Chain A
Amino acid sequence: MTFVHQEVWHWQIATYLFLGGLGGATFAIGAVLHLFEGCDRKMLSIAVMSSIAFLVVGTVFLLADMLQPLKAIYALTNPRSWIFWGVVFINFYFIAAIAYIIPLLDEWPLFQPIVQKIPAPIIGLLERFNKLVALGGSAAGFLVAIYTGLLISAAPAINFWNTPALPLLFVISGFSTGAAFLLLLSMLSSNPAAPVISAKLEQLDAMLIVTELIILGAYFNFAMFLPTGARASAEFLFHSPVFIVGFFVAGLIVPLAIETWGIFFGGHSQENKPKLPMLLASSLVLLGGYLLRIYVLKAGMFQYPW
């Protein structure tokens, strides 16, 4: 029996997984906030535009890692493959995100000439079904985020990846990065409703980080249980200072501490809350999310029978 580090997928794919989770979750959370908290059209349009950009850039990284990116359309052939579903989910996501954002673009003078070119009945229709599209879009965002974990869990000989805990970890971490990104945007927004949204996002992100910690605990407990490649991977991560300090401490514990402080002791008036700690917390969550994917990929080890 030998354990060999996988040398197939590197930081490019980690970037794709990170941006996929971030983009999917940003849209999903933004759309849910719209449904339940009303709509700050400016902030939502920035959020959705950024989430589209995340997925576009992520897809470029995926394509750049392929041997024949120009033939990528063939990826829609085999429904047994997770990549097939990834392509379906991402396209579904793009359609929903674009349909969702068009009516919001009239907030921006820059885009008004483009919006004006679209026939009024179409805009009217998109405006009317905006909430429905938000619902569909949040489902698409969720699917994209969970797909990033499903993709790499389809590796029978990489025990550390081949577990249902991994898609769960990636989806929770994806949503935590999405909430952190939206928190970053709402902290920078001058809209009078922004502090209320920030407070909600702060709570959401803290809850997601706690959930992530529980899943991480279960995940590593499973990994250490049997003398398989999963244990070797977990040991590799325990001995990686960047993973421990960068992801675990700086990317989870520190932001959780800041957010908890913000929720309980940050003062009752949202307007007067100092912004810097929250900006730091959200940036750290984003950095941590990226490091998690890089290190989970690095830690993947094939367990060969020879």
Chain B
Amino acid sequence: MARYGMVMDMRTCVGCQACMAACSTENQTPFWSEKFRTHVEDKEVGTFPDVRRVQLPRLCMHCENTPCLSACPTGATHMDKNGIVLVNNDRCIGCYACCIACPYDARYAYEREDVEKEHELYGKDVSHETPHVDKCTFCVQRLKEKLEPACVATCPTHTRIFGDLDDRQSEVHKLAASGKAQALNQGLGTSPKVFYIPS
């Protein structure tokens, strides 16, 4: 049993969006409708003349106190034994209560047209059989094969550091505990498992 989490080192992100492409291919997310499980926010911070660009990669925070899970009437949204928040696609009725409850814009609708397009592109080898609400899974299917999530494996600048937050030897634990990394919107009490080292 692990407690998977991620640290984003914003000092190194260059906004290449390779993570978005890797995730989209791995998880067959509907890039054709511009829907992704992970995004890179390109932000301007500061006021003139002291202005700079900041890249903020984001995805599901796999919150410990999970508003989406509380809002989901069907139990489709659940947390597995490794702390990963997942959606059981067959059980999801697409009521969107979770999308309203999520404070991190981590969810989107995999609509009927998206399922049709997916079948057109991937043939029989599809991972989304029915319309449902979709989100990041930390690539559970890859974790089972002892591989890192696709975005982490692809990131050329080592911005995304993934691992077991409870493993004291892991880089992710050390960074999360270092005090340098912070969770987003901590005031909401969601206890995210994704942390950010500011640039």
- CB of B73 within 8 A of CB of A71, answer no
- Among A79-87, A130-138, A167-175, A250-258, the one that faces the other chain is A79-87
Task: Please give, as numbers and ranges, the residues of chain B lying within 8 Å of A74 by CB-CB distance.
Answer: 73-76, 91, 93
Q: Assess whether B82 is interfacial by the CB under 8 Å rule.
A: no
Q: Is the CB of B73 within 8 A of A156?
A: no
Question: A87 vs B95: C-alpha distance in the bound complex, in angstroms?
Answer: 13
CB pair B100–A152 under 8 Å, yes or no, is yes
* Interchain CB contact under 8 A, B73 and A306: no
Tell me the complex Cα distance, A68–B91, Å.
9
Contact A68 B70 (CB under 8 A): no
Closest chain A residue to B96, Cβ basis: A8
Whether a CB of chain B sits under 8 angstroms from the CB of A204 is no
- Check A78/B93 contact, CB under 8 A, given A67-B111, A156-B67, A302-B103: no
Which one of A8, A68, A72 contacts B99 once the chains associate, using CB atoms below 8 Å?
Answer: A8
Distance A302 CA – B112 CA, assembled complex (angstroms):
26
Q: Is B81 interfacial (CB-CB < 8 Å)?
A: no
Known: A302-B105, A304-B104. A157 touches B74 (CB 8 A): no
> Nearest Cβ in chain B — how far from A193, in angstroms?
43
Distance of B96 from chain A, by nearest CB (Å): 5
| Cβ contacts under 8 Å, A156 to chain B | 67, 101, 103, 188, 190
CB distance from A76 to the nearest CB of B (A): 7
Residue A241 interfacial (CB < 8 Å): no
Q: Mostly helix, strand, loop or mixed at chain B's interface?
A: loop
Contact B133 A82, beta carbon cutoff 8 Å: no
Instruction: Evaluate whether A8 and B43 lie within 8 angstroms (CB atoms) in the complex, with A69-B93, A81-B73 already known.
Output: no
Q: Is the CB of B105 within 8 A of A304?
A: yes
- Cα–Cα distance between A77 and B88 once the two chains are bound (Å): 13
Q: How large is the interface on A (under 10, 10 to 19, 20 to 34, 35 or more residues)?
A: 35 or more
Q: Is the CB of A305 within 8 A of B73?
A: no
Of all chain B residues, the one with the shortest Cβ separation from A6 is: B100
Of chain B, the residue at the smallest CB distance from A71 is B93
A8 to chain B, nearest CB (A): 5
Q: Which of A62, A67, A304, A305 contacts B109 (CB 8 A)?
A: A67
Interface pair A157/B103, CB less than 8 Å apart: yes
Docked complex Cα distance between A87 and B73 (Å): 10
Contact A77 B99 (CB under 8 A): no
Asked if A75 lies at the interface with its beta carbon under 8 angstroms from chain B, I say yes
- Which residues of chain B have C-beta atoms less than 8 A from A67's C-beta? 92-94, 109, 111-112, 131-133
| Cβ contacts under 8 Å, B70 to chain A | 78, 80-81, 154
Question: Can you name the residue of chain B whose Cβ is closest to the Cβ of A68?
Answer: B93
- List chain B residues, Cβ under 8 A from A75: 73-74, 93, 95
Chain B residues numbered 24-80 whose CB sits less than 8 Å from any CB in chain A: 41, 43, 56, 58, 67, 69-76
Per-residue CB contact flags for chain A residues 1-20 toward chain B (1 = under 8 Å, else 0) read: 00010101100000000000
Chain A, range 135-194, C-beta contacts under 8 Å to B:
151-152, 154-158
Whole-angstrom CA separation of A80 from B78 in the bound complex: 12
* B131: A residues at CB distance < 8 A: 67-68
Given contacts A157-B188, A305-B185, contact A66 B73 (CB under 8 A): no
Instruction: Encode A82-96 as 1/0 by CB contact (under 8 A) with B.
Output: 111001000000000
Q: Which residue of B lies closest to A69 (CB)?
A: B93
Residues of B near A65 (CB, < 8 A) are: 95-96
Decide: B185 and A68 in contact? CB cutoff 8 A. no
Residues on the B chain within 8 Å of A87, using CB: 73
1/0 contact trace for B102-115 toward A, CB 8 Å? 11110001011000
Given A67-B109, A74-B74, A78-B74, check contact A157 B185 (CB 8 Å).
yes
Which chain A residues border B188 with CB–CB below 8 Å? 156-157
Q: Is the CB of A84 within 8 A of B104?
A: no
Chain B residues in 8 Å Cβ range of A69: 93
Q: What is the distance, in angstroms, from B183's C-beta to the closest C-beta of chain A?
A: 9
Contact residues of B with A, CB < 8 Å?
Answer: 41, 43, 56, 58, 67, 69-76, 91-97, 99-105, 109, 111-112, 130-133, 184-185, 188, 190
Show the binding face of A for B, using Cβ within 8 Å.
4, 6, 8-9, 62, 65-69, 71-72, 74-78, 80-84, 87, 151-152, 154-158, 302-306
Apart from A71-B91, A157-B188, A305-B104, 15 more pairs, CB < 8 Å: A66-B95, A67-B94, A67-B111, A68-B130, A74-B76, A75-B95, A78-B72, A81-B70, A87-B73, A154-B67, A154-B100, A304-B104, A306-B56, A306-B58, A306-B184
